[in-house]
Amino acid sequence: MNPPSHAIYVPPRPNLGPELSSSERLPLPTAISVACVLLLASLCAWRLVSRRTRARLPEAPGQPAAAASPPGPRARVIAGAEAVRSALVDRFGSSWHARTTEEIVVDSSVVDLLAPPMLEGLADFLRLADRAKFAEGADTAFEPDVYGDLWEDLVGEVVALLRSDAGANTKISG
């Protein structure tokens, strides 16, 4: 009989593949150059992104605003229409946000509130504002009607009328 052997079995090592020779390794100056180029590229990308983000942010309230030119006729007409629609929402409720111009001018509550000439002027103004709002071109392509400042007077009267009795149509139950 053979004496028991005390040999230790060692499992085989995994094959890690061929080792790179010294000629295949990246030289130190080249590695440093590649790292510098990557660092410079990431810095440029970060500056570009931060500039775009900063350009989108509104100005701080304490800083003076840039010298802005007065709004053109197109912007004034759109702002007037927004004021009228806001007054309608304040008076009749939030469902008026979604109303079109045609729905506004035929609604019985508006018809009862405004005199026929004022209602007709409001309809014309809201249609003009819709054309201004959804026009393809810029301010130069938009020419308001010959009435010009009369629209501003009409908007002021309609908004004042809508806001004067803003709570008059509410009913108290109890």
Cα–Cα distance for residue pair 158/88, rounded to 1 Å: 10
What digits encode the pLDDT tens for the residues 104-141? 989 998 888 888 888 898 898 898 888 888 876 655 55
* Mean pLDDT, rounded, of the chain: 78
Following CA atoms 18, 22, 23, 24 in sequence, which dihedral angle do they give, to the nearest 10 degrees? 40
**What does the pLDDT average to over 35-57?**
84
More confident residue, 9 or 172: 9
Angle, helices 116-133 vs 73-92, to 10°: value is 120
Whole-number pLDDT of residue 148: 62
Whole-number pLDDT of residue 15: 83
Cα–Cα distance for residue pair 144/146, rounded to 1 Å: 7
Q: Is 168 a residue whose pLDDT tops 70? A: no
Whole-number pLDDT of residue 39: 94
What digits encode the pLDDT tens for the residues 74-112? 788 888 889 999 999 998 888 888 899 899 989 998 888
The domain locations on the chain are 73-164
Cα–Cα distance for residue pair 65/84, rounded to 1 Å: 27
**What does the pLDDT average to over 20-46?**
84
Check: CB of residue 123 under 8 Å from CB of residue 162: no
Instruction: Give the residue among 100, 101, 87, 105 at the shortest CA–CA distance from 158.
Output: 87
Q: What is the pTM of this model?
A: 0.53
